[in-house]
Amino acid sequence: MLDKLAPEIAKTTSEVIGHDVLITDQHGIVLGSSDPLRIGTLHQASLSTIFRRKEQTHNEMISSTMVGVKAGITLPIELSGEFIGTVGITGEPNKVAKFGMLAKKYAEILLREEVINKSSFLREKALQSLVQEIANFDSIHSDEMLLLTRGRELGYDLKSCRVATVIDIFHFNDITSEIHQQKLKKDSPEIHIQSLKIKIESKVKKIFSNNQDITVSLGSDKYVVLHILDCKNSEEEIYQNVKGQCEKLILELQEIGMDASIGIGTIGNNLNHLNKSYHAAWRALRIGKKMTNHPDIFYIKDFVIEELLSYIHKTNAHLFIEERITSLKQYPDYNELFRTIIAWCESSFSPIKSSKELNIHRNTLFYRLNKMEQITQMNLRNFRDALTLYLAVKIVLILESDNNEN
């Protein structure tokens, strides 16, 4: 680790104090220097500095008796109680001594930050792996004890009651594209985007802040939270509490110009149920997003019909939709027609409620209904015909969401 940071430490420190600076390992070999010719050479003063574990000064007379040493000061670099190298400053000892502690502390701070960052990165990867194993868990073929042990090693009790929530940042790719197109004076687009990701993750962890909440990022714009629950509460109370936290998160994200859609899964009081909760949260998100074009919170229990239809054999499902709405899918605006069918049925055939839900004029609603009746030869004022189209559209959305999940 010191060998990677040494050139940067030497260069930056030298620019600040105006003297040549070098960094060595514990064997006195120069790893980084403001004078590139000294890299890879032996700095003999560093050996005695490591051995004595304290700074050493060396004037012209002393330095002339040692290999690769100029007049100046050499100080040990300490990390986690171990002396891993030295920092040397060239110049008259009395003049450069005042910079010695500054250079030493700067080097140690950078190294500690690198350790913390690397540790955080490794933990994040371990958590992502843990969540992936939960997502792939199979009570018949998976080793439950091994997964529980991995959870304990990371500080989590996977036997506790949890619910999976999936957070999808709305139009994040469009936002990053816009950042790339902007001419930023200070930071590069990549730094700006990374800063935005850190802010988003910070907001997620601020709301889901229990030390048993497992939060991981998946890709650039999606986050999964396996949220710890108090299963003494009723299912409705649990849902209302989780929904309340999701609403707070959306408000927090809006403070930094972000919005999100959130899927909430079922309650999981063991690994098998947590696996189901994870996939249910994804289905809730995908089906919910298919049925609305704006950010919202989607609870899988609100999709009971969709869940029931998802168990239909795919061959039968394809036959059912092929006979009823294949003609609709040939039109470019079929997504709008699908949303219209859903709004029309779920509003009990109310023109006022349907047009309000779709945010369209009533005349536009009637135009779409008449268009679908002409295409399908079905009467959308008739319950059985309307229900048939409604179920067909629901099956299409389920099949599409399943394809996306796979």
Measure the CA–CA gap between 404 and 344, rounded to whole angstroms.
Answer: 27
Residue 136 lies in a domain: no
Residue 45 lies in a domain: yes
Looking at the fold, whether 165 and 302 belong to one and the same domain comes out as yes
Contact 260, 170 (CB under 8 A): yes
Residue 17 lies in a domain: yes
pLDDT the model gives residue 403: 64
Residue at a domain's end among 274, 308, 342: 308
Looking at the fold, whether 365 and 256 belong to one and the same domain comes out as no
Residue at a domain's end among 250, 273, 308: 308
Phi/psi at 121 (5° precision): -65, -45
Residue 132 lies in a domain: no
Looking at the fold, whether 97 and 176 belong to one and the same domain comes out as no
CATH of the domain at 76: 3.30.450.40
Residue 121 lies in a domain: no
| Domains identified in the chain, total number | 3
Which amino acid, residue 256?
Answer: I
Measure the CA–CA gap between 54 and 137, rounded to whole angstroms.
Answer: 54
- E strand or H helix that includes residue 289: helix 271-291
Looking at the fold, whether 177 and 274 belong to one and the same domain comes out as yes
Looking at the fold, whether 52 and 14 belong to one and the same domain comes out as yes
- Reported as a single tens digit per residue, the pLDDT across 60-74 is 888 888 898 899 999
Residue 115 lies in a domain: no
Q: Please report, to the nearest 10 degrees, the dihedral formed by the alpha carbons of residues 238, 242, 243, 249 taken in order.
A: 170
CATH of the domain at 316: 1.10.10.2840
Looking at the fold, whether 174 and 302 belong to one and the same domain comes out as yes
Give the structural domain span for 367: 312-405
Residue 153 lies in a domain: no
Looking at the fold, whether 292 and 356 belong to one and the same domain comes out as no
The segments of the chain whose pLDDT lies below 50 read: 406
Looking at the fold, whether 379 and 246 belong to one and the same domain comes out as no
pTM for the model stands at 0.68
Looking at the fold, whether 174 and 95 belong to one and the same domain comes out as no
Residue 283 lies in a domain: yes
Residue at a domain's end among 277, 308, 339: 308
DSSP alpha helices (H): ranges in 18-92? 44-52, 60-63
pLDDT the model gives residue 402: 63
